[in-house]
Chain A
Amino acid sequence: GAVVSQHPSWVICKSGTSVKIECRSLDFQATTMFWYRQFPKQSLMLMATSNEGSKATYEQGVEKDKFLINHASLTLSTLTVTSAHPEDSSFYICSARDRQGGEKLFFGSGTQLSVL
């Protein structure tokens, strides 16, 4: 099946630093990738939709200058949390849609971010 690799799986950083999370589709080309944030025992909250070669579309209330998304190729999207603060601590998950797979979404394994 389709595999989405997300890296790192966990990261601890100091307040004020930036953190980059990578999301790769390993065996398919993903024209669209999605980034989610998930708080403990809660559902997935869509942050932004990333299309290859174009600017990401952010959901209402998500700061685009804080959460920088780059989708430079058909297999890689990155989320950079800039000037991270403790309130940015969360579980971040990416998902990718196979350009030939219709509606199916395949998820990465998530990144637990802890900002001290």
Chain B
Amino acid sequence: QQQVKQSPQSLIVQKGGISIINCAYENTAFDYFPWYQQFPGKGPALLIAIRPDVSEKKEGRFTISFNKSAKQFSLHIMDSQPGDSATYFCAASRGTYKYIFGTGTRLKVLA
């Protein structure tokens, strides 16, 4: 019940395309869902986050869609660029407790 399942494991997208990464959770007590971007040899950086009382949040080219009833949330990267090539992790947490991370998605955007 503590797991966060993330898919796909890897993703290749053409420049200008839309990248979509999905996550699913089971614990309905989770109330905070962030997405992190990680480049090789670096720590993860917070991209965007959402709470379950909102169905969508947009920041620039990044959008989180949240489906509370399905216990799923997804990251959409619009107009994907080669510089977006990185590993993306979703996570879930309850209050100030520890994060539960997804398994990661390696995104490659072709020039």
A binds B: yes
State in angstroms the CA–CA spacing of A112 and B40 once bound together: 11
| B44 sits at the interface (CB 8 A) | yes
Q: Which residues of B contact A44 (CB under 8 A)?
A: 44, 89, 101
| B61 sits at the interface (CB 8 A) | no
- Indicate if the CB atoms of A106 and B102 lie closer than 8 Å: no
State in angstroms the CA–CA spacing of A44 and B89 once bound together: 9
Chain A, interface SS category = strand
- Indicate if the CB atoms of A41 and B43 lie closer than 8 Å: no
User: What is the chain A residue whose CB lies nearest that of B103?
Assistant: A43
State in angstroms the CA–CA spacing of A112 and B41 once bound together: 8
State in angstroms the CA–CA spacing of A32 and B99 once bound together: 12
Residues 83-116 of A at the B interface (beta carbon under 8 Å): 91, 93, 95, 97, 102-110, 112
- Indicate if the CB atoms of B49 and A104 lie closer than 8 Å: yes
- Indicate if the CB atoms of B41 and A102 lie closer than 8 Å: no
- Indicate if the CB atoms of B42 and A109 lie closer than 8 Å: yes
A residues with CB within 8 A of B: 4, 6, 32, 34, 41-44, 46, 49, 91, 93, 95, 97, 102-110, 112
14 A–B contact pairs at CB < 8 A? Answer: A34-B98, A34-B99, A41-B104, A41-B106, A42-B103, A43-B101, A49-B98, A104-B46, A104-B49, A105-B34, A107-B45, A108-B43, A109-B43, A110-B43
